[in-house]
A and B are shown apart, each in its own frame.
Chain A
């Protein structure tokens, strides 16, 4: 094993853990002092277009001795992927801290097209489909761009951690997966969908005190090594939130 990779994926040093705990306490103090409104809600999201950039155009299977060619840039559209969860929202002036816990089910998840070479410059096309599901924690900072409107446009960025409960992979020669091989282990190691992974998040949409509509773009980049593949997907998000407390500073929740 490459020692540098092992080092990077090892346990975090103690001082980083302590720093993170202090940062979290600092966040609580900040909320305590500056939060102007606390809301709760539910959210429903549909995952749509996946865009993946592979750093290499060849891939060697870990479960067989096959080698595949693949297009470096791949798009796949998935239909029945959903995500439902709970939301806690804190407003601080035009900023909002959006925290979310949800469960997701990606039944038609990441699809990758692979080309297995035959002799005489011919290829056999395989499709790999990874289905995964689990829980997702998300923290995001949103900024209201135009507070005067009733439906306020906003933009945000954040961070999500996904904890898969299950991840399976199907391989098929047909794009609709009408027949094929199931529970395979070809592309899963590339995406690491069967273990915890982190995603960055960019979001834009509109919201008021009760509803939020948005488009989210999740992406993963250089998670382990500089050669790691770029993985991303779009979601459409619909959230209903309560106007739980008034628009004033209050001290109820962290004392």
Chain B
């Protein structure tokens, strides 16, 4: 009798209370704008007609809840008018279209991470190591959609090889612990100056030599501008990248031009067909969920036909850098920003 009761009680408790695995989350979910491309239609002394291709990501904390923003009104796209050399530079939106794309079936990407020491400590800009979480989110969601290799750059800093360290030296189509471990360790390896141009040159060269000739790109996550000691110039990198059809995608973890040097990097993106985005590490977090789609060029975007007018002719200016903000509601704090560069063709 006792044994029977014991068996009954035991069997009643023999079920498991295993829970479903919750979907991992990122701490923030801001809307993010990604500049997919800039095309100059007409470049005159006092007037520039151009087209911006901008993908707008609707922020989500999880990969499933992060989508592309559709149906934004034309009034949501607001350009910044400013004074340049004492004359006003104005923008006028002529037309906005929503473009669907299909993109490439896969990608080969080199993640190039800036490990140089920031002038004002990087700790202040990313105190909670959201950069790691963002990149880890991207890695965890690759899932055989593409192939990626991890690298980091700094000159005379803490990483193994100056000016560029390429970890594992092989592409991976899926999250693996070794890459994630290397990424986590990079948290402690900031130091030295930025060898951004040299590192980009070597990264493009590595991609040319090791990645199959199919939708290749280098995504550079940058917190500092080049230290001026690089052997290679922007022109060298553009030449090499264009020869091998390798796109360069700059991701700026700062809004401050004097820190990250927007113009040269945007020029690289314009010349090679890469995308770019700007923001803090937590403001960009949603974009990392859609990084796979961005690298496959598989995102729908807004095509904004715009005219830029210059109050008085400026004979020497071959490029204008400006920005556009996308307003989602009446709160300016929710705006997302797009940095772009208009270069004379």
Contact = CB atoms under 8 A, between A and B. Distances in A.
- A and B: bona fide binding partners: yes
Interface of A: 40, 58, 60-67, 69, 86, 88, 101, 103, 116-122, 124, 134-135, 137, 163-167, 185, 188-189, 194-196
B236 interface: no
Nearest to B26: A65
A97 to B, nearest CB: 14
Contacts of B2: 40
A189 B25 CA distance: 17
Contact of A63 (B25, B123, B190): B25
B121 A120 contact: yes
Contacts of A116: 129
A66 B133 contact: yes
A166 B26 CA distance: 27
A118 B187 contact: yes
25 contacts: A58-B181, A62-B22, A64-B24, A66-B132, A67-B184, A69-B184, A88-B3, A119-B122, A119-B187, A119-B190, A120-B121, A120-B122, A120-B123, A120-B190, A121-B188, A164-B17, A185-B19, A185-B22, A189-B21, A194-B16, A194-B17, A194-B18, A195-B16, A196-B14, A196-B16
B16 A164 contact: yes
Contact of A163 (B14, B121, B133): B14
Contact of B21 (A62, A101, A163): A62
B140 A195 contact: no
Given A67-B180, A185-B22, A195-B16, A119 B126 contact: yes
Contacts of B26: 64-65
Contacts of A120: 121-123, 190
A195 B129 contact: no
A167 B17 contact: yes
A221 B9 CA distance: 28
Interface string B164-194: 0000000000000100110110011010000
Interface of B: 2-3, 6, 9-10, 13-19, 21-22, 24-27, 121-123, 126-129, 132-134, 136-137, 140, 177, 180-181, 183-184, 187-188, 190
A64 B25 contact: yes
Contacts of B136: 60, 65-67
Given A61-B24, A63-B24, A67-B180, A117 B13 contact: no
Contacts of B134: 65
A195 B18 CA distance: 5
A5 B190 CA distance: 38
Which 9 residue pairs of A and B lie closest in terms of their CB atoms, listed nearest first? A135-B13, A119-B123, A195-B16, A65-B133, A67-B184, A117-B187, A65-B136, A120-B123, A195-B18
A58 B188 CA distance: 14
A137 B122 contact: no
A164 B187 CA distance: 38
B193 to A, nearest CB: 16
A117 B188 contact: yes
Given A58-B177, A62-B22, 12 more contacts: A40-B2, A60-B177, A61-B24, A67-B132, A88-B6, A101-B6, A118-B187, A121-B188, A135-B14, A185-B21, A195-B16, A195-B17
Contact of A117 (B19, B24, B27, B129): B129
A166 B188 contact: no
